[in-house]
Chain A
Amino acid sequence: MEKSQSQGMRKRQRRRDFLIKTAGGAVAAGALAKLGMPRLARAAEPVNIGGLYPVTGSFAQIGQGCVNAAKLAVQMVNEAGGIKSLGGAKLNLIISDVQSDTTVTRTETDRLISSYKPAAIHGCFASALTLIASEVAERAKVPLLTGSSSDQLNKGRHYTFTPFSRASQFALAQLQMSKLVSDKPKVAVVFENTAFGTSTSNGLREQAPGEGVEIVLFEPYSAGLTDAGPLINKVRASGANMLFPVSYLNDLILIIRAIKQGGLQVAINGGSGGFVIPDFYKNVGSVAEGLLGVAHWNHDINADAQKVNAAYQKQYGEFLFEYAGGLVAQTFMIADALERAASTDPQKVSDAIASLDVSQGYAAMCPGGRVKFGPDGKNIYAHPVGVQWQRGDLATVFPKDDARAPLLKS
């Protein structure tokens, strides 16, 4: 679910975006290829690990943030002495640009594995891309760690590991969060009438009765609103105290503003998606204040996360966002596995990841505080957290055990 919001982006827009960014992309790709060259061995042979991220194309902005975090994570592992069981071998991060494109993802994953023989890989942010990369990694028997939330990634795969909550868990968390606002939540679901909007909203509707949440309005609308006033008029008439907009950003902005203009007392939970990144607040401004969401990782969940966040913030001037923070933890999971496997053989590393069980340190830096994979590659302790925009920062407010800030009532 999480990245489907971006996927739901109109095709035309994506194509234009792509055309424009390819020019800059060619330059970026050249620079990255240089960075990716294996360095000369010093004491011990460095261990190649792969990072597959879209640095060009429609996901470029987020992909670049992921690359920054991946570099920071490798630097942290190396500065702490590298992999001791391999004679203090340093990690060598090889970034491959998957260009927000499924075909490119297939060839790039293939190329990365055959040319650099990485011990493990992490990537690719967007579920649609990760699904392809995980198929290629599966065939090559190279372990792949990912924060992508598609439940499909846990089906029929032996080398794919997902340390964070799954798409199916997000809807549930979103419904449970409505109880923060009221004991008797009355939820209005307004969703764009696209594949993304329909599937997400249906997921919410199916699970609502089980959570004791009443859905008082279930309303599809045509994406690309000129005016959200009429739609909010319906929300008002429904008597809802909680609103779930399943919307792309432009519509979401109009919806939030129409609610404020109408003086409507209703909390808004946008679920997971493109609005739990710093850019969202930068673009949207204080309109975002108080908005609720769901994330698989947040920078305030524990002391380690806060430490990494501080380092990232110092270097890049913005907080460490959901996906980027998660992949820092993944890098430490790979380091932990390498340490125990004492080998760079992907099969042995994969076995070591499968038997991973950590509950402290950077590798355990995720909601749930513990990582142990089940037979389907799913972290059995993972759960999503509820977040809220508070003064330009994203604060964890749900569940109770993870909450780092009190809920800001609108």
Chain B
Amino acid sequence: MIETLAQAVVNGLLIGGIYALVSIGVTLIFGVVKIVNFAQGEFVMIGMYISFFLATYFGIDPLLSLFISMPVLFVVGVLIQHFLIRRVLGLGDMPQIFLTFALSLLLVNVALLLFTANYRTVETSYSETAIHLGAVYVPVAKLIAFVVAMALSGTLWVFLHSTDLGKAMRAAAQNRDVTMLMGINPDRVFAVAVGVALALAGAAGSLLMPFYPAYPMVGQVFVLMAFVAVVLGTLGNVTGALIASLMMGVAESLGIQFVGADSGLIVVFLMLLLTLALRPSGLFGGWTR
């Protein structure tokens, strides 16, 4: 019994790390640029395909391709901010929603056209191995993904708190107009924020590739959980999104184990409903960033 419980918690934490990478990206863009990026999952998908093709055609390990997928998606993020998002800022919610939603549809369909709906997998030496701690097993690929995800989140935290650019981003998130009065260029700050958010999505894609199949709709699987985590962890709060993601992973896993395998999401959404009812601003309201 205790082994089963421990196993369920381990499973939940490991997948929670991936949820965290996706949700931190969403919450970062929302916090700084004040726009909901519905296409965040599609950038995870792009990260996966980058890793898949690098692994298939150049034999590059998906984990190493992190160093390619992250910069590529950072640049994509900067370009998207510069050419698309910048133009709809200040136009109200609808154009912004349509923009990122259209981007999501476009990317999924382009991926279908280019890559077909087939499932692609990458076989690595660690894809199917696990470390056994007593009766509990820890899949190596997921463990690596978790550790790297936590390291990236930590790096982001340090970046936001101890660099000028990071502080500028937090300042822009709190009050755009005052930030501009202080001589900070919001365009530059926004571009970096979107770039970083997409780089995190790319990292999530590369980290997923050793154990998760890539297909054009794969982003939608993760973005749903990411949005829940973002709301649960208070919109715009990076640390909140991280903690909420881990909590949700564990809640889902425990739900599957002890309620029923079709009830994992029910537990998660119940958690969301309760949070919204009792603490409408999320579990981590306030500016703890």
Q: For the complex, give the distance between the alpha carbons of A257 and B208 in Å.
A: 13
Contacting residues, chain B, for A19 (C-beta < 8 A): 109
Given contacts A219-B260, A222-B265, A262-B130, contact A286 B123 (CB under 8 A): yes
**Which one, A226, A257, A261, A262, contacts B225 given CB within 8 A?**
A226
CB distance from B217 to the nearest CB of A (A): 6
Are A229 and B253 interface neighbours, CB within 8 A? yes
Contacting residues, chain B, for A286 (C-beta < 8 A): 123
Are B262 and A221 interface neighbours, CB within 8 A? yes
Q: Please report which residues of chain A, range 247-271, place their CB below 8 angstroms from some CB of chain B when the two chains form the complex.
A: 249-250, 253-254, 257-258, 260-263
Contacting residues, chain B, for A237 (C-beta < 8 A): 4
Binding stretch for chain A, among B111-119, B152-160, B235-243, B275-283: B111-119
* B116 (CB) vs chain A CBs: closest residue: A61
Given contacts A257-B127, A261-B139, contact A193 B213 (CB under 8 A): no
B121 within 8 A of A: yes
Are B119 and A16 interface neighbours, CB within 8 A? no
CB distance from B138 to the nearest CB of A (A): 9
Are A279 and B253 interface neighbours, CB within 8 A? no
A283 within 8 A of B: yes
Most-contacted residue by chain B among A19, A224, A229 (CB, 10 A): A229
Are A253 and B112 interface neighbours, CB within 8 A? no
Q: For the complex, give the distance between the alpha carbons of A38 and B15 in Å.
A: 59
Contacting residues, chain B, for A221 (C-beta < 8 A): 256, 261-262, 264
Most-contacted residue by chain A among B7, B8, B12, B132 (CB, 10 A): B7
Q: Please report which residues of chain A, range 39-68, place their CB below 8 angstroms from some CB of chain B when the two chains form the complex.
A: none
Are A220 and B139 interface neighbours, CB within 8 A? no
Are A230 and B257 interface neighbours, CB within 8 A? yes
Given contacts A230-B252, A261-B137, contact A253 B15 (CB under 8 A): no
A216 within 8 A of B: no
A231 within 8 A of B: yes
Q: For the complex, give the distance between the alpha carbons of A386 and B210 in Å.
A: 30
Q: For the complex, give the distance between the alpha carbons of A219 and B256 in Å.
A: 10
Are B139 and A222 interface neighbours, CB within 8 A? no
* B215 (CB) vs chain A CBs: closest residue: A250
Contacting residues, chain A, for B82 (C-beta < 8 A): none
| Secondary structure class of chain A's binding surface, majority of residues | helix
Contacting residues, chain B, for A249 (C-beta < 8 A): 119, 213
CB distance from B3 to the nearest CB of A (A): 9
Contacting residues, chain B, for A285 (C-beta < 8 A): 121, 123
A13 within 8 A of B: yes
Count contacts between A and B, CB distance < 8 Å: 117
CB distance from B9 to the nearest CB of A (A): 10
Contacting residues, chain B, for A231 (C-beta < 8 A): 256, 261
Q: For the complex, give the distance between the alpha carbons of A224 and B218 in Å.
A: 9
Given contacts A16-B108, A230-B252, A230-B257, contact A250 B11 (CB under 8 A): no
A284 within 8 A of B: yes
Q: For the complex, give the distance between the alpha carbons of A62 and B12 in Å.
A: 38
Are B264 and A287 interface neighbours, CB within 8 A? no
CB distance from B131 to the nearest CB of A (A): 10
Contacting residues, chain A, for B260 (C-beta < 8 A): 219-220
Q: Mark A1-24 against chain B: 1 for CB-CB distance below 8 A, else 0.
A: 000000000101100110110000
Q: For the complex, give the distance between the alpha carbons of A219 and B225 in Å.
A: 23
Give B residues with C-beta under 8 Å from A: 4, 7-8, 11-12, 14-15, 18-19, 108-109, 112-113, 117-121, 123, 127-130, 132, 137, 139-142, 211-213, 215-218, 221-222, 225, 249, 252-253, 256-257, 260-262, 264-265
Ranked nearest first, the 6 interchain pairs of A and B with the lowest CB-CB distance are A221-B261, A229-B11, A260-B128, A230-B256, A261-B139, A227-B15
Given A221-B264, A233-B4, A258-B139, output 18 extra A-B contacts at Cβ < 8 Å.
A13-B117, A190-B261, A219-B260, A221-B256, A226-B15, A226-B221, A230-B8, A231-B261, A233-B11, A253-B121, A253-B213, A254-B211, A257-B127, A257-B128, A257-B211, A263-B130, A283-B121, A285-B121
